Structure 1
Amino acid sequence: MNITDQQIKTLAQRSKQQCELCRSEDKLSAYLVSPKEGNEISDYVYACEQCQLQINNPETLDVNHWHGLNESIWSEVSAVKVLSWRVLNHLQRNHGPQDLLDMIYFTDEELSWAKDGFSTGDSTAEEDEEKHRDSNGDVLSDGDDVFLIKDLKVKGAGFTAKQGTKVKGISLVPNNPAQIEGRVESQRIVILTEFVKKQ
């Protein structure tokens, strides 16, 4: 569905004639936030040409352009929050602002929308980055046995887990591919995946 002139006027009023992502007032137009079909005005963000170009070509994202995200993540407009989340995820892959990502509050529907339309342009690479991997890059799974590749001082437990120690039946820490859990000397501990090798 093509957006109408009246809908564009509504967007302009909603945004106070500013880009809803960076607050620029130059070259503004309606941007459909995929995978929505544009049936509702709420499917669109009123965005400047520069924001749209960078969103459509994530490899060109310029971190200096996106200082307005610390405001747009709090928008009452779902489409604005969704686009902000996607941009932050792309920036975070290049050591960007994880703290802002952690602050975004989403309903289940908004989060689903954000993820459904999010792509790095390389789905295989994206999937790989989400997986837990050992020090050699091998994929780890729940229940795997691993070996420690260095001595690890276990804070609060009063012992050091020695290099070569076998950790049986690990558990993957959800939403954190850098951590696993396992039992060492009867203690359940969190271990960084970079310090283990899959058996």
Structure 2
Amino acid sequence: MSIEKALVERSNNQCELCSTTDNLSVYEVPPVTEAHSDKCIYTCQICKEQIEASTELTPTHWHCLNDSMWSQTPAVQVVAYRMLTRLAPENGWAQDALDMIYLEEDTLAWAQKALAQEDDIKHLDSNGVVLQAGDTVTLIKDLDVKGSSLVAKRGTPVRNIGLTSNPEHIEGRVDGQRIVILTKYVKK
């Protein structure tokens, strides 16, 4: 059985975090050593983009974690823990939920492992300046966009960038198209 089929069956064809049934896909919960349904969740596009920090967090969307944090699936618990940890500094409800969540030792170690790695990842522009999600950067070189005829011109501002798990890549919109950009070709 494929991973997606296993997740569709496990999730009853809905997002395992917010329960929506639109734009669902497989999300591998890092760190991923081998592809397996136990290391993945079935999630909607909105949740996935915010988990990957490619869009700004919408705290009201994440109230769904009050229910999904009690899932019996360790991968769902891990994502819920990580998202509550990200939300807790500015949202009292998230801190309250984080105080209530219970994870087995190995599941907690899995959740904290990626959080520690995320803290170590620094995205640096061509001048060595640290980039943050939501920053605006400028292209310092004409870039051919793979898979299209678009050429992103030097000097083009890229607003509201998203960070990826790879410190050499950021995501942003150029001419209405979401693309991955190497950090060495941008400046803040």
Q: Sort the TM-score into its range (normalised by shorter chain).
A: 0.5 to 0.7
Question: Is it true that 1:19 corresponds to 2:24 in the alignment?
Answer: no
Distance, in Å, in 2 between the alignment partners of 1:124 and 1:93 is 20
**Partner in structure 1 of residue 24 of structure 2:** 28
Q: Report matched runs for 1:38-187 at 5 Å.
A: 38-57=34-53, 60-96=56-92, 97-118=94-115, 122-123=119-120
Unmatched 5+ residue regions in structure 2? 123-188
**Partner in structure 1 of residue 6 of structure 2:** 10
Distance, in Å, in 2 between the alignment partners of 1:112 and 1:16 is 28
Cα pair distance change 1:62/1:119, threshold 3 Å: farther
Q: Secondary structure at the match of 2:25?
A: strand
**Partner in structure 2 of residue 172 of structure 1:** none
| Structure of greater relative contact order (alpha carbons < 8 Å, 6+ residues apart) | 2
Unmatched 5+ residue regions in structure 1? 126-199
Distance, in Å, in 2 between the alignment partners of 1:121 and 1:11 is 26
State the 1:15 CA deviation: 0.3
Cα pair distance change 1:12/1:19, threshold 3 Å: same
Q: TM-score, normalised by structure 2?
A: 0.59
Cα pair distance change 1:119/1:55, threshold 3 Å: farther
Bigger Rg, which one:
1
RMSD over equivalenced CA pairs, Å:
2.2
Distance, in Å, in 2 between the alignment partners of 1:13 and 1:107 is 24
What per-residue deviation string (whole Å, max 9, x for no partner) do you get for residues 94-123 of structure 1? Answer: 234211011111111000000011159554
Q: Stretches of 4+ moved more than 6 A in 1?
A: none
Distance, in Å, in 2 between the alignment partners of 1:124 and 1:35 is 14
Q: How many residues align?
A: 121
Q: Percent identity?
A: 39
Distance, in Å, in 1 between the alignment partners of 2:14 and 2:34 is 20
